[in-house]
Amino acid sequence: MAYKRTELTPEQIDGQLAVCAGIRARNKQSGKAPLAMVDTYGCQQNEADSERIRGYLAEMGYGFTDDETKADLVVINTCAIREHAEMRVLGNVGQLTHTKAKNPDQIIAVCGCMVQQEHMAEKLKKSYPIVDIVFGPHELWRFPELLLEQMTRKKRVFAVDDAPGTVYEGIPHARDSKVKAWLSIMYGCNNFCSYCVVPYVRGRERSRRPEEIIAEARQLVAEGYKEITLLGQNVNSYGKDLDEPMDFADLLRAINDIPGEFLIRFMTSHPKDATEKLFRTMAECEKCAHQLHLPVQSGNDRVLKAMNRHYDRAKYLEEVALARRYMPDLVLTTDIIVGFPGETPEEFEDTLSLVEQVRYDSMFTFIFSPRKGTPAAVMPDPYSRQEKQVWFDRLLDAANRISAEKHKEYEGKRLRVLVDGLSDGKGGNLSARTGGGRLVHLTGDPALIGQFVDVTITGSNTWALYGEL
Ligand code: 5AD
Ligand code: SF4
């Protein structure tokens, strides 16, 4: 599958920024400070996309609100990974009928992965007349132009053409946190796991150039960010499409070489492409968190093959052992799908036994959800939802028990953590993360937010650690 990467030119993004300036002038003329609400569903890539949308909106002079009744513009950034995510989005778009009835000038935009599916774009067109603008991930870079078109022509705008995708630079970000930053290193996915809609909605894998990524990382460090999370659907295939190919481990080392006190995290790694070089680099780079999200999806070889994952249980277990040899303190997390079409009770037991063997620090578990257009959606699926739910509950029980046991091992230890925000949970007013990414609640001066501090772990449960300064 030869895909020629296309990069947008700086002029194309500058053109959008000029449109932002035009909208800013328009908003100013209207005499009131306009407010926007951006509502985000789904994964970290979507969080990062929403920061770009907010970056554009800030250029247009919008302030931000979480209250849809006060918003002049509502942007809903959607997810398509499972049916549940789509139902939530549609429910919330439906709710906006009431706010729009009270404020007919309100503009409603729906974007992201869900709308990149033709049947969903059609559904919005036909059944949700309150929606004014619809655009997929490929069109995000020209959101200002789409908004201006809607504002001037007062017509509904749909921009959801299918495309392999582009690489772009220079869209401003309005970041959510002052401590932690997302940094997209690549877009799209080439893997076509048989259950997954991502390659269809986000297009082919394409990498940003290393010099752009390193410049952005330097800038983040200069602005005082203490944690940078590199994002891609499969970071281990970073750089394969570049004129001068570069691998992910080399990129990691280059970012590690940037002077300053900060942590590097990344996600997601596909087990088929994880290498010893990556684990060695992680171990050698002092700023790289000893944290690996390595989705296994299933512990059974037949199911893994049907999922088109390109590894088997033995290879996965070898990889985990190798990663732990390089980093004995590695925090390992995973994703698992229960009830893939045709998965038998015995095959599910293989997943459970893998989980007991690996002992993940935490797990994200899902019941299979058929996605239109994917091969798995048309595979025979003889087991009922109720049967799958029983398996799922067993898996969740195991995951929770193991997380609690692993957290218990931290008690009494002294750790360096990054204080990253205020906490509303019991056990303290501040939240922090360990090097491996475990959540710690503690009590202290909010001025510590953004600092690395030493804490003693005094308690724990399945979800978090409790610490004292
Ligand atoms: N059904 C259930 N879970 C899915 N995932 C991806 N597609 C599906 C689907 N159709 C899960 C995988 C992936 C995570 C992001 O979402 O476990 O790693
Ligand atoms: Fe989906 Fe597989 Fe790509 Fe992950 S690697 S986004 S599960 S197709």
pLDDT at 2 over 60: no
Half-sphere exposure of 356 (CA within 13 A, CB side): 10
Of 258 and 161, the one with more pLDDT: 258
Q: Average pLDDT in the 317-332 region?
A: 98
pLDDT digits (tens, 9 = 90+) for 338-364: 999 999 999 999 999 999 999 999 999
Q: Ligand 2 within 6 A of 199 CB?
A: yes
Contact 224, 178 (CB under 8 A): yes
What gap in Å lies between CA 457 and CA 441, rounded to an integer? 10
Instruction: Report the chain's mean pLDDT, rounded to a whole number.
Output: 95
Q: Average pLDDT in the 323-337 region?
A: 98
Nearest CA to ligand 1 atom 2: 368
What gap in Å lies between CA 176 and CA 157, rounded to an integer? 28
pLDDT at 418 over 60: yes
Q: Which atom of ligand 2 is nearest to the CA of 297?
A: 7
Distance 68 CA to ligand 1 centre (A): 30
pLDDT digits (tens, 9 = 90+) for 8-31: 999 999 999 999 999 999 988 888
pLDDT at 316 over 70: yes
pLDDT at 292 over 70: yes
pLDDT at 188 over 70: yes
Ligand 1, residues at Cβ distance < 6 Å: 81-82, 195-196, 295, 297, 335, 337, 366, 368-369, 371
pLDDT digits (tens, 9 = 90+) for 241-254: 998 889 999 999 99
Q: Ligand 2 within 6 A of 291 CB?
A: no
Q: Average pLDDT in the 153-168 region?
A: 89
Give the number of the ligand closest to the Cα of residue 194: 2
Q: Ligand 2 within 6 A of 134 CB?
A: no
Distance 193 CA to ligand 2 centre (A): 6
pLDDT at 163 over 90: no
What gap in Å lies between CA 249 and CA 89, rounded to an integer? 37
Tokens 């700086």 label which residue? 10
Half-sphere exposure of 423 (CA within 13 A, CB side): 24
Give the number of the ligand closest to the Cα of residue 363: 1
Contact 207, 185 (CB under 8 A): yes
Nearest CA to ligand 2 atom 5: 191
Predicted pLDDT at 392: 98
Nearest CA to ligand 2 atom 2: 193
Predicted TM-score (pTM) above 0.85: yes
* Site to substitute for ligand 1 among 234, 292, 366, most atoms within 8 A of C-beta: 366
What gap in Å lies between CA 111 and CA 133, rounded to an integer? 8
Q: Which atom of ligand 1 is nearest to the CA of 370?
A: 10
Q: Give me Rg for the CA atoms of the chain.
A: 23
Predicted pLDDT at 5: 76
Amino acid at 420: D
Nearest CA to ligand 1 atom 6: 196
Q: Band the pLDDT of 1: cuts 50, 70, 90.
A: very low
What gap in Å lies between CA 269 and CA 292, rounded to an integer? 8
Predicted pLDDT at 45: 94
Q: What angle do CA 396, 315, 244 make, to 5 degrees?
A: 110
pLDDT at 69 over 70: yes
Give the number of the ligand closest to the Cα of residue 309: 2
Q: Average pLDDT in the 128-154 region?
A: 95
Give the number of the ligand closest to the Cα of residue 42: 1
Q: What are the E-state strand segments in 125-278?
A: 133-135, 157-159, 180-184, 186-187, 206-207, 227-231, 263-267
Distance 337 CA to ligand 1 centre (A): 6
Q: Which atom of ligand 1 is nearest to the CA of 297?
A: 17
Instruction: Give 2's contacts (C-beta < 8 A, 6+ positions apart).
Output: none
Distance 197 CA to ligand 1 centre (A): 9
3-state class of 180 per DSSP? strand
Give the number of the ligand closest to the Cα of residue 195: 1
Q: Which atom of ligand 2 is nearest to the CA of 233?
A: 6
Nearest CA to ligand 1 atom 16: 81
Predicted pLDDT at 30: 82
Q: Average pLDDT in the 454-467 region?
A: 96
Give the number of the ligand closest to the Cα of residue 295: 1
Q: Average pLDDT in the 201-210 region?
A: 94
Q: Ligand 2 within 6 A of 298 CB?
A: no
Q: Ligand 2 within 6 A of 196 CB?
A: yes
- Lowest average pLDDT, out of 164-168, 198-202, 268-272, 329-333, goes to 164-168
Q: Average pLDDT in the 197-213 region?
A: 94
Tokens 């920024």 label which residue? 17
Distance 343 CA to ligand 1 centre (A): 15
pLDDT digits (tens, 9 = 90+) for 255-282: 999 999 999 999 999 999 999 999 999 9
pLDDT at 3 over 90: no
Amino acid at 406: K
What gap in Å lies between CA 456 and CA 284, rounded to an integer? 26
pLDDT digits (tens, 9 = 90+) for 445-456: 999 999 999 999
